Structure 1
Amino acid sequence: MNDQSPAMKLVHLLRAVTVEFDLLGAEFAASNGLHPTDVRALIHLLDAARDDTPATPGWLGRQMRLNSAGTTALVDRLERLELVRRTKDTVDRRRVLLEVEEKATELGWSFFGPLIAEVVAVGEEFDTGELETVRRFLTSVLQSAQQARTA
């Protein structure tokens, strides 16, 4: 492949953005006594809440690619840190749901809020059509990455 093609330049830029976000996530984790796995779990749980997806320990384990014991240890740790709580499902009382505590959301916003505001401001410099193109591109890249991970 031609390293100078427009598509390859996007690949390199996307990799650089990914590395920066990963470094920020690691800095956030370290500054709050968390493991990077804890941060990824919180992101999955926040995304689930935003999408109205019931987040059970089994669901989280599948997202994180953890076995049952690893998932239990992760949830126990997040619960001890008062970042996540287990609640009974009101529809199926046998099922346990995981919910992110307000403390976790506040921690995240205090660290990532300025960056999120900056990214939103940058996005507002683009017109609707440009943003739709970026959304389609990133959605396709995400799907490709997910397929590669499950292959």
Structure 2
Amino acid sequence: MEDREAELEIVHLLRKVTVEFGLRQAEFAHRHGMHPTDVRALICLLDAERAGTDATAGWLGARLGLNSAGTTALIDRLVRLGHLTRTRDPRDRRRVLLAVDAKAVELGQAFFGPLIENTVAVLHGFDDHETAAVRRFLSAAHEAVTTIG
């Protein structure tokens, strides 16, 4: 197989994985009366929490490419569904911070837990160098995708 073909095969495999993840997200959204963007918002907020990033409406809207009205509607919907909480920032009472509710985390774990565990099990078959290569590739691929536009 030529280098270019081998590289494109990897890109196509990555696309295959992302499509499947997207389908699982859409299925989760449908089962729980949410829009797929709602699930993306929850993922962004969980990622922010893991990174120690304060999540505000403006931050979330920018991450999702939504305008102010769309962001407000999304946040209101997730609060109404019990998946999201708003709290005043204790350091700056003018800011409102967003956080995923524990109930939503449990719901996500129940649905996505097996998928996550299966994926982690795949990594158990890799040695440290292979795992580092996968991490390096996925990080660089993410950067390549997010710098387009």
The equivalent residue for 2:5 is 5
The equivalent residue for 2:76 is 76
Task: Tell me how large the CA RMSD over aligned residues is.
Answer: 1.2
> Residues 101-134 of structure 1, C-alpha deviation per residue, up to 9 Å, x if partnerless?
0011011000000111111111011011100000
2:113 pairs with 1:113 = yes
The equivalent residue for 2:18 is 18
The equivalent residue for 1:104 is 104
Per mean C-alpha deviation after superposition, the further-off stretch among 3-12 and 18-27 is 3-12
4+ residue runs over 4 A deviation: none
User: Percent identity, aligned pairs only?
Assistant: 57
Q: How does 1:2-151 map to 2 (within 5 A)?
A: 5-148=5-148, 151=149
Q: 1:6 Cα deviation (Å)?
A: 1.2
Kept after mapping to 2: 8 A contact 1:56/1:95: yes
C-alpha separation between the residues in 2 aligned to 1:3 and 1:120?
29
Q: 1:3 Cα deviation (Å)?
A: 9.4
C-alpha separation between the residues in 1 aligned to 2:145 and 2:133?
18
- Amino acid of the structure 2 residue aligned with 1:99: A
Kept after mapping to 2: 8 A contact 1:3/1:9: no
Scaled by the length of structure 1, what TM-score is found?
0.95
C-alpha separation between the residues in 2 aligned to 1:40 and 1:30?
13
